[in-house]
Amino acid sequence: MESNNFNNINDFEEDLPKKDLFLDEKDYFIIEYFDFLSVNGDKKVKIKSLGEKFASINSFFFEYLKEYHIPVAFVKNHNKTSLKFIKYKKFPFSIKILNIVDKRTAKIFNKKEGELLSLPVFEIHLGDGKDSLISESHLLAFDLCSTEDFKIINRICSKVNAVLKSFFERRGFLMAETKCSFGKFEEKIFIVDDFTPLSLKVIPLTKDNKGIDPYKFTTSAEIRHYTEHLYNLMSA
C-alpha cells in the first residue's frame, strides 16, 4: 500500500487521518488518528502505524509548548492513537507561519523560493484550498474573529514560532513552515491543532545534514519516512 504515487502534498493535505469523537458528559472530546490518508476526499492510502505516530508527534509538541506557558487545548493522551482535548469552539480559520519564501510568495515578490525570511510571515487561511488566503479585514467584516482575539492569536503564533524554531535549530534543522489552528473555551483562546507531519515542514540547516523535503512528497513511503524523521527528532 505504500507505493502509491501523488503529484504533490496538496493531493492529500486537506484530509488528515483523524476524526473527532465527542464525549458529551464532560467538557472534553477525543481526536483519533488513523493509519491512512484520504486522497481527494475518497481514495484512502494505508500507512502502517501512521495514526500512532501522528498522535505521538502532536502530543509531544503540545506538551513542549505547555512548558513555555503557551495555551493549548490538549489535555493528555487518551490511548496510542487518540488525544484528549478541552471541548473548545474552533475558529474557522488557521494561521500559516512561514520562515522561508514559499512558491506563491516567491512569484509575488520576485524572490528565490526557499530564501530565509528575516521576520516570519503569518498568513490567514480559511480552509485548505489553493484560494484560501484571506485578510484580517475579512475576519472582522464577516464576524469570524474579534480584533482583541486576533491580537491574542498573533501573540501566540509569535511565541509558538520562536519556541519551535529554537527546538529544531538545536537539532540542525529549520522549521520552514507550520500551521496553527485555534479554539475558545470559557473565553480563553487555545491552540487546538495541528503539529502533524503534513503541516510541520522541517528542512536541514546545512547541505551536509540530509533530510526528506516535506514540500516534495510524491509517495506514501516518503510521508512515512518523514514522519519517522520527526518522531526521531523528538528524542534527539
Spatial CA neighbour of 86 closest among 199, 178, 182:
182
pLDDT tens digits along 62-102: 999 999 999 999 999 999 999 999 999 999 999 999 999 99
Task: For residue 3, tell me if it sits in a domain.
Answer: no
What is the pLDDT at residue 7?
Answer: 46
Whichever domain contains 39, its CATH number is: 3.30.470.20
Task: For residue 91, tell me if it sits in a domain.
Answer: yes
Q: Which pTM does this prediction carry?
A: 0.87
Task: For residue 31, tell me if it sits in a domain.
Answer: yes
Q: How many independent structural domains does the chain possess?
A: 1
Spatial CA neighbour of 145 closest among 199, 102, 182:
182
Which residue type sits at 204?
P
Confidence band of 22 (pLDDT split at 50, 70, 90)? low
Task: For residue 55, tell me if it sits in a domain.
Answer: yes
Average confidence score pLDDT of the chain: 87
The range of the structural domain enclosing residue 212 comes to 9-233
Distance, CA of 94 to CA of 71 (rounded, Å):
16
Spatial CA neighbour of 199 closest among 173, 226, 163:
226
pLDDT tens digits along 225-235: 999 999 999 98
